[in-house]
Chain A
Amino acid sequence: MSGDAAASAVAPNARDARFRGARGRLTLRIVLLAILSAFGLGLAGLMVWLGLDRWSDYRLYSHQLRVEETRFALRDSLLAAEQAALDLAVLAYGGEPERDPADDLARAAASLEATLGSLAAADLPGGADIAVAVAEKMARLGTIRVELASTPARDDRELAERAADLRALALDLRSLRMRILRAVGVPDVAMGVVHLFRNYALQVHDTIHANAAAYLSILTGLRTPSAAELTLLSRETTRSRFAAPTFIDLVDADPIMAGTTASDLVDFIESEYIPAEEAILQGIRAGAVSPDTVAGWIAAVRQVDELTRRMLAATDEAARRHLGERLAAEWRALVASLLVSGGVLVAYLLCAALIVRRVVGPLGEMRRTMLRLAEGDLRPVGVLRTPLADLLAMNDALRVFRINAVRRERLQQERLELHARIAAAAREMRADLEAAALVQLSQLPPPGHLGGFRFDTYFRASRLLGGDTFDFFRLSDGRVALFQVDVAGHGAAASLVSVAAHIALRRALDALGPEEGPAQAMEDVNRGWREDLPYFTALAAVLDGRTGEGSLVQAGHPYPVLLGSGAPPARLGEGGVPVGVVPEPGWRDIPFTLRAGERLLVFSDGIYDVQDDTGSIFGEDRFMDLVGRLSALPSEDLIAGIEAALRNWSAADEMFDDISLVVVERV
C-alpha cells in the first residue's frame, strides 16, 4: 500500500472519531452538575466532620465531668475512712474522738455507693473492673463496720486494729482513684494543676494520717519504736514541705484554682502542724509526752483534715465550674458549628439552584435551539432568562443566525421563482422567435427556374433569426430581378430590419421602368431609409433572359463572382457604400453578360468571416480558390462543396455570422 493509500485508509477512521466526539454523551450540563454535586458532597462532608469534631469535644467534657464526680465520691469515701481510722486511734489512745467513727464509716459507705452510681454513668474504659473493685471495698468496709460494732469500747488493741484496717482500705481506695485517673488521663491540660495539687494535698493528708496512726500507736503503748523509725516518721512529714512552695506558686497562677484555700492548708502545715508533730516526736524521744501536747497535735491533725476538706471542696467546685463552663462553651461551639454548617449548606443549595436555573437550564435550552436551527427549523428563538452576559450574547447571536437563515431561505425561494419566471419568459420568447424565423424563411424564394435562369440558394442564420435575406422574381417587362441584403448584426433586430429592407428593395425593383437599372432602385431605397434604422449592405441585379445581359449595383456588399466556362472566377462590381449611410451614395449600374452555362455567385460576407480555431477567417482569397476548384460542378454540388469547406474551416458548430448564397446560371 502506498503512503497516500494508507492515509486515505486512516482518514475515515479519524472522521468517525471526530463524529463520535461531536455526538459524545458528556455535556456541559452533566459536567456542571457533576462538579456541583461533588462540591456539595465535599462541603456536606466537611460540615459533618466539623460537627462531629465539636460533638466529640462536647462529649469529652461531659464525660470528664462525670468521671470527676466519680473521683470526688471515691475521694470523699477515702477521707471519711481515714477520719474514722483517726477517731478510732484517738479512742484507743484514750482521747475524745471528734465524731462517732460509725458516722464517718456510714459517710464512707454512702460515698462508695455514690461512686458506684457515678461510675456506671461515667462509662470508663475498664469501668466494670473498677466497679468490681469498688464493690469489694464496700464489702470490706461493711465487714469493718460489723467488727467495729462488736468491738468493746475500751479494748485499745482491737480499736487500733480496726483503725489499721480502715487505713489499709483508705490506701486501696487511693490506688483505685489513681486507676480511674490513669484510665481516662487528663484530656484538658488546663486541669493539670488542679489534679497535681489535689494529689499533693491527698498525699500530704495521707502522710499526716499515717504518721498520726504511727504516733498514736506509740503513744497508746501498743508498740515501741526504734530511733530509726522515729527519724523516718519525722522525715515523712517534713518531706512534703519542700514541694509546697512550688505547688503554691502554680496554684496562685492557675485560673481554675483562684479563690481556693490551698495556701491556708500549706501555711497551716508549715506553721502549726509540723511544730506540733515535732513536739510529739521530741516528747516520744524524751520518753515523756504531756497530754496537752498530744491534745494540741491531735487538734492540728484535725485542723489539717478540716482545711484539706475545705480546700478539696473548693477545688472540686472550681473544677466543676471550669468543666461546666467548658461544656457550655463546647455546646455553644457545637450549636454555632451546626448553624454555620446549616447556613453554608443553605447558601450552597441556593447557589446550586441559581446555577441550575440560570446557567445549566439556559445552556440546555441554547443547545436545543442550536440543534434545531442546524436542522433547519427556523421558528423564533426565545430570549434566555439568565443574568450571564456570555449566554445572552450567544443567544443574541443565535437570533441573528436564525434571521440570516430565514433571509437566505427567502432569497433562495425568490431566486428559484425568478429562475422559473425567466425560463418561462425565455420559452415564450423562443417560441416568438421561431415563429418570426418561419416568417423570415417564408420570404426566401425556393430554388428553381425563372426567366431563362436557374437559381440555387443557400441560407443559414447564425441564430434563429438572421440579418440576411434575398429574393429573385420576374419584373413586369420580362426581366428577372435579384437582390441580397445583409443587415449589420444578428438576431431579432437585424432580422426585422432585413424584412424592412427586403420589402423596400422588392418594391423599388418592381417599380423600375424598362430602361432603368438596379442602381435606381437602390437609390430609391436609400432615400426612403429612416436615419434611425441601421444601415445594411445589399446587391441588386436585373437580368434579361433573352440576351443574357444584365446590370448590377453593389452597395457595400461583397463582390459577386462570375464563373465563366473554362475561365477562372472573376470578381464583378466596384464596392460602393452601404444603404442608409450617406444621402448621395453615387451608385451606378455595372453591366455584365451571362452566356449559357455561365454562373453568377452572390453572397453575404458571412462566408468570408467564418473562423477556424486559431481565429483566422476564411477570407476572400481562400473562397476564390475554392470556387475555382469547384467551378466544374453543377450549382447544387458547388453549393454543397462550399458548405462542406466552410464547415471544415469553422471551429464552432454555429457560424459566427449569417450566411446566404445565391447562384444564378444561364440556361
Chain B
Amino acid sequence: MDQPNHPGEIERLMRLAESGLDVSSRIPELDDLCRDARDHFGTRIAAVTMLTRDLQILKARAGTEIEAVPRHLAFCNVTILSEKVMVVADTLEDPRFRDHPMVTGEPFVRFYAGAPLVYSPDLVLGAFCLTDGKPRTFSLGDRAELTAYAEAAVSILVESLDRPAAVGGRAP
C-alpha cells in the first residue's frame, strides 16, 4: 500500500522530534490499557502505534509481539489523516486494503479500527488501533469508546513526558 500523502507529514515529524516523546520505550500503563481495550472490544489485537519517518512502532500492544512495521505498510497512515476514528469493517471489501500484504498474508487482518493519538492540533502521534482476523461491525458507541482509549493513551504519554522533566528540572 502506498503511504498516503500527508500534507503536513514533514512538519509532523519535526513536531514529533521536538516533543521529546520516546517512541520506542515501553510504558507498562499503556500495555495495560491495550489489554483492557482488547478485552473490552473482544478483538485479537490492540496496540498504541507511533509513526516515525520509516517505521510504525507498536509502543504498546496486546495480542501480538510485533514491535514495528515498515511505515508504508501501516494501516494507521490513513488514520492519522483525520481526527475521526477510521474503521475498516472488512478489509477484503475495502479496495484500499484488500491487496495489503498483512491482509493477504500473516496476520490476515480482516478488521481494523483506529483512533488518532492527537497530541496537539499539529501533531498526531499515531493511533490507538484494534485488529481482528474476522470482519465485524463497529458501532457509534464503539467508536466513542475507542476515541476515549486514544485520549487516555495520549494522557499517559504526556505524563511520561512530564515525569523525567519534573525530576531533572527542579533544583534540589
Contacts and interface: CB of A to CB of B under 8 A. Distances in A.
B148 A403 contact: yes
B144 A399 contact: yes
A112 B142 CA distance: 90
Interface residues of A, number: 16
Nearest to A410: B151
Interface in A401-416: 402-404, 406-407, 410
A396 B147 CA distance: 14
B148 A407 contact: yes
A380 B141 contact: no
Interface string B125-142: 000000000000001111
A351 interface: no
B40 A397 contact: no
B145 interface: yes
A404 B141 CA distance: 10
A403 B145 contact: yes
Interface residues of B, number: 11
B148 A400 contact: no
B74 to A, nearest CB: 26
A181 to B, nearest CB: 76
A638 interface: no
A380 B147 CA distance: 14
Q: Which of B140, B141, B143 has most A Cβ within 10 Å? A: B141
Contacts of A403: 141, 144-145, 147-148
Contacts of B140: 396-397, 399-400
B144 A404 contact: yes
Contacts of A381: 141
Contacts of A399: 139-142, 144-145
Interface string A371-407: 0000000001101000000001001111110111011
Contacts of B151: 407, 410
A400 B141 contact: yes
B40 A400 contact: no
Contacts of B139: 392, 396, 399
Interface string B14-40: 000000000000000000000000001
Interface SS of chain A: helix
Contacts of B143: 400
Nearest to B139: A396
A396 B40 CA distance: 14
Contacts of B148: 403, 406-407
Contacts of A392: 139
A395 B141 contact: yes
A383 B145 CA distance: 12
Nearest to B40: A380
Interface string B142-172: 1111011001000000000000000000000
A414 to B, nearest CB: 9
A383 B139 CA distance: 11
Nearest to A396: B141
A406 B143 CA distance: 14
A237 B138 CA distance: 99
A407 B144 CA distance: 10
Interface string B88-103: 0000000000000000
A415 to B, nearest CB: 15
Nearest to A392: B139
Contact of B141 (A397, A406, A407, A410): A397
A406 B149 CA distance: 11
Nearest to A414: B155
A400 B147 CA distance: 10
Interface string A303-330: 0000000000000000000000000000
Q: Which of B142, B143, B148 has most A Cβ within 10 Å? A: B148
B109 to A, nearest CB: 23
26 contacts: A380-B145, A381-B141, A383-B141, A392-B139, A395-B141, A396-B139, A396-B140, A396-B142, A397-B140, A397-B141, A399-B139, A399-B140, A399-B141, A399-B142, A399-B145, A400-B143, A402-B144, A403-B141, A403-B144, A403-B145, A403-B147, A403-B148, A404-B144, A406-B148, A407-B148, A410-B151
- Nearest first, the 4 closest Cβ-Cβ pairs linking A and B are A399-B141, A403-B144, A396-B141, A400-B144
Interface of B: 40, 139-145, 147-148, 151
Given A397-B140, A403-B145, 15 more contacts: A381-B141, A383-B141, A392-B139, A398-B141, A399-B139, A399-B140, A399-B142, A399-B144, A399-B145, A400-B140, A400-B141, A400-B143, A400-B144, A403-B147, A404-B144
